[in-house]
Amino acid sequence: MGCRPQALVEAARSEGRRKLLEHESLCLCEYYGIPVPRYGLAHSSAEAVEIAKRIGFPVAMKIVSPDIMHKSDVGGVVLNVRTFEEVQESYTSIIRNVMLRAPGARVHGVLVQEMLPKGLEVIVGATRDPYFGPVVMVGIGGVFVEVLKDVSFRAAPLTPVDAEEMLRDLKGYRLFEGFRGEGPRDKAAVADVILRVSELITELDEVAEVDLNPVVVFEEGQGAKVADARFVLR
């Protein structure tokens, strides 16, 4: 299947899904040049070990299923896995937990993903407004975006000037400049993610919503990566 957008959409629709699965979402991000952690989908504990070898430690592991919304609630997530033995144990534990707590759930495998270092967390998203058409959003906060409500919107397609202005609109913009001993953050990398999301939502009519949260922003010159991605189809 590769990362061809149409193939990803068709795979979802063939199963009656309106959301892409985690590995599909990361794949679509890659297609549009949006930086993501190293990852792979494992169908056995041995395959999970091979993926972890390729990625390097530590890794995160989580169940991939269209029928499980809150993976942690069913024991479907293990973070900071640091040895090959832990990878094998975590794979077995995740599959066993899901069979016990979510019997009947369709399981596509276990995602093995690079654990990202800490950084400034932002959200980049997009939706389709009935009046304005595709609209792109950026906000400060990651998990706190609902609380802080520090967001900026623009109608797509966007220009580099639009992306820069969106960041400057944020009340938390100072966080990009360096704050309380933290170095400046890579604003250019975030602006690039914004532009690539604009391109995606403009080109790909099948996508109704984009939610990249959190996007972890590293120190200036070190880029940013999307830790979690969600795509909803029309």
| Domains by residue range for the chain, with CATH | 5-114 (3.30.1490.20), 120-233 (3.30.470.20)
| pLDDT at residue number 2 | 63
Please state, in angstroms and rounded to a whole number, the distance separating the CA atoms of residues 225 and 216: 5
Please state, in angstroms and rounded to a whole number, the distance separating the CA atoms of residues 163 and 137: 10
In degrees, rounded to 5, the angle at the alpha carbon of residue 97 between the alpha carbons of residues 92 and 102 is 135
Q: Quickly state the pLDDT bin for 143 (edges 50, 70, 90).
A: low
pLDDT (tens digit per residue) in 159-196? 999 999 999 999 999 999 987 778 899 999 999 999 99
Q: Is residue 139 a contact partner of residue 145, using CB atoms and an 8 Å limit?
A: yes
Please state, in angstroms and rounded to a whole number, the distance separating the CA atoms of residues 114 and 30: 15
DSSP at 3:
T
Q: Is the pLDDT reported for residue 142 higher than 80?
A: no
Q: Is 0.75 topped by the overall pTM? A: yes
pLDDT (tens digit per residue) in 32-91? 999 999 999 999 999 999 999 999 999 999 999 999 999 999 999 999 999 999 999 999
Three-state DSSP class for 16? coil
Show the tokens assigned to 98: 């899901």
| pLDDT at residue number 182 | 80
Specify which residues 139 forms β-bridges with: 123, 151
